[in-house]
Structure 1
Amino acid sequence: MPSSNEQPTAPLSSGAPSAVTVLGLGPMGRALADAFLAAGIRTTVWNRTPGKDRELVTRGALSAAAAEEAVAAAELIVVCVVNYDAVDAVLRRDAVTEALKGRTVVNLTADTPARAREAADWADRHGIRYLDGAIMTPTTTIGTPDAVFLHSGPRELYEQHLPVLEALGGTHTHLGTEISRAAAHDIALLDIFWTAMAGYAHALAVARAEGISGRELAPFAKGIAAILPPIFEETAAEMDDGTFSGEGNPLTSAASTMTHIVHASEEHGIDAGVMRAAEGWARRTIGLGHGTEGFTRIAEVLGRH
């Protein structure tokens, strides 16, 4: 969603020192600022709670007393706070909004796709260039080849600031001009992660109730994880193509195993709410006549309105 108010800007000259401002100094914000400093980039930092910039200042960061002062220090403003409510609390104060005009905000804060679209509309109305982004790896990867960043928004704006953003390490992928695509990828991928972690936590509880330690279960759990990548590829193709083959493992069989998990859990007094929900999706899909099809048919049913 390119901004209608987007102004042409000159790219960073290779001979001029680059500069960046980082707003938000939680664990991830500090990691971002640290990576910029390590790359020799003039870095100004600001945080709502004072004191979090001390170590960064000893490494050469410039500490701003106010957010508007931090914004005025660079053309590129990287924001990383807890959510978009916190972003709004920082950026939508009159003095900060005024200082942001004509500058570029790269918002690496996690929130929903709808909030990303709303933020971009606000930026457009105030003459602020805007890119949305997502960080898909933990703080320990920032500044290393293992970091993964997703970006969306105007392509020319992304390419203009990529030389500075690359100081953060890893891979940077531009997902398209639709501003919410980074946030949408982030939500979908975090859905996989936290659902999987919830399943693993539940499995550890059930295993422990049956006298199996976490260390005993872990090697076999890793085996389950190892079969998932090809399954992800196959089921993604099924979803895109509208084919939901149940050959070898129809949905009726999957629902049966879910029932076993529910019963075994509840025999030990372990909450089986997550598995009951999954079983409910499966039973609903079977009830619609898809029992002989594959598990991914559930995704298609969930997406129906």
Structure 2
Amino acid sequence: MPTSNSVTVLGLGPMGRALAGAFLDAGVRTTVWNRTPGRAEEPAERGAVVARTAEEAVGASGLIVVCVRDYDAVDAVLRQEPVTAALKGRTVVNLSADTPARARDTADWAARHGVRYLDGAIMTPTPTIGTPATVVLYSGPAEPYREHRPVLEALGGTHTHLGEEIGRAAAHDLALLDVFWTAIAGWAHAVALARAEGITARELAPYAQGIAAILPAIFDGTAAEADAGTFPGDANPITSAAASIAHIVHTSEAHGIDTGVLRAAEGQVLRVIGRGHGAGGFIRVAEEVGRR
């Protein structure tokens, strides 16, 4: 098996190139490969070994880091002979994004072929890689994670092993992206509403940042409530949220602005109230949307 201070990066999109660059900057012997020719020039100029084939790339290192579009792309590379045979006994760290179910399926495939497998999620954008701002989550067997952590830490920032259940990293990834994209969708809608009332996005932005600044404390408090199954609404009952959302919907629709997302949120709130929980807190919505 190749030296422990070596890594192969499969996939040279923007994130893959950033990963390879961070490994190279840390002095890790790095081999790279990409399905589409022409993307290896930058890593090669920085000292990476460019493999001619995926099989050759896999054979160069005991640690294989995969970062491609999704698990369909992962399968197209790894589940082909002779690549699968070359992976036997090696560790694959899959940092591609997909679902927990796909992570479990890939782990089952890896186990059948003698491949040690860790699933992972990069929670920060490309420019953070190699800096203290990097955040990477992992799930899967603890032993290969401990063994390869010194090399993985070349990516900078914090690295957290979430447990041996292989789908946990992907589940965290999706839940956190749920927060992100719902917030961004809310910001886009707010910009449309503000513009309709003669307010520019630049004027609104500082106040939107003030709203964002109060969210961490809300996350902490409501997380404790959700886990405990108690939903106090003394300070801000869900009936207040219903009234506020109704005002936004009314004004938006008066301007001809689409309210599909807000109508969905309003429906969730009204269902909670309809079940007799109007005096409770907003996080009870999690119980409602999770109801089977």
Is the structural similarity TM-score above 0.5?
Answer: yes
- From 163, 166, 172, the counterpart of 1:179: 166
2:5 counterpart letter in structure 1: S
Is residue 57 of structure 2 the alignment partner of residue 55 of structure 1?
no
Cα distance in 1, alignment partners of residues 172 and 158 from structure 2: 15
Is residue 161 of structure 2 the alignment partner of residue 161 of structure 1?
no
Deviations 1:194-243 (A, max 9, x none): 00000001101110110001111111111111111111001000000000
Quote the residue 2:95 is aligned against. Answer: 108
Quote the residue 2:105 is aligned against. Answer: 118
SS of residue matched to 1:163: helix
Deviation at 1:248? 2.1
Q: 1:130–1:153: 8 Å Cα contact kept in structure 2?
A: yes
Deviations 1:55-82 (A, max 9, x none): 1101111111111111011110000011
Quote the residue 1:271 is aligned against. Answer: 258
Cα distance in 2, alignment partners of residues 252 and 17 from structure 1: 58
2:122 counterpart letter in structure 1: I
SS of residue matched to 1:289: coil
Quote the residue 1:204 is aligned against. Answer: 191
Deviations 1:92-136 (A, max 9, x none): 112111111111000001111111111101100111000011000
Cα distance in 1, alignment partners of residues 4 and 233 from structure 2: 59
Cα distance in 2, alignment partners of residues 227 and 187 from structure 1: 23
Larger displacement relative to structure 2 (244-253 or 137-146): 244-253
SS of residue matched to 1:206: helix
Deviations 1:120-178 (A, max 9, x none): 01100111000011000011000011100101111111000001000000000011111
Q: 2:252–2:259: 8 Å Cα contact kept in structure 1?
A: yes
Quote the residue 1:99 is aligned against. Answer: 86
Structure 1: gaps of 5 or more residues: 1-8
Deviation at 1:304? 1.7
Quote the residue 2:243 is aligned against. Answer: 256
Cα distance in 1, alignment partners of residues 21 and 32 from structure 2: 10
Is residue 56 of structure 2 the alignment partner of residue 69 of structure 1?
yes
Is residue 275 of structure 2 the alignment partner of residue 288 of structure 1?
yes
Cα distance in 1, alignment partners of residues 236 and 151 from structure 2: 49
Q: TM-score, normalised by structure 2?
A: 0.98
Cα distance in 1, alignment partners of residues 289 and 201 from structure 2: 33
SS of residue matched to 1:144: coil
SS of residue matched to 1:195: helix
Structure 2: gaps of 5 or more residues: none
Quote the residue 1:213 is aligned against. Answer: 200
SS of residue matched to 2:291: coil
Cα distance in 2, alignment partners of residues 220 and 143 from structure 1: 32
Is residue 22 of structure 2 the alignment partner of residue 35 of structure 1?
yes
Q: 1:148–1:170: 8 Å Cα contact kept in structure 2?
A: yes
Cα distance in 1, alignment partners of residues 180 and 4 from structure 2: 39
Quote the residue 2:232 is aligned against. Answer: 245
Is residue 179 of structure 2 the alignment partner of residue 192 of structure 1?
yes
Is residue 213 of structure 2 the alignment partner of residue 226 of structure 1?
yes
Q: 2:19–2:129: 8 Å Cα contact kept in structure 1?
A: yes
Quote the residue 1:144 is aligned against. Answer: 131
Cα distance in 2, alignment partners of residues 87 and 290 from structure 1: 46
Q: 1:45–1:64: 8 Å Cα contact kept in structure 2?
A: yes
Q: 2:4–2:62: 8 Å Cα contact kept in structure 1?
A: no
Q: 2:131–2:155: 8 Å Cα contact kept in structure 1?
A: yes
Cα distance in 2, alignment partners of residues 69 and 284 from structure 1: 57
Aligned pair count reads 292
Deviation at 1:17? 6.3
Cα distance in 2, alignment partners of residues 250 and 71 from structure 1: 56
Aligned-residue RMSD, C-alpha: 1.2
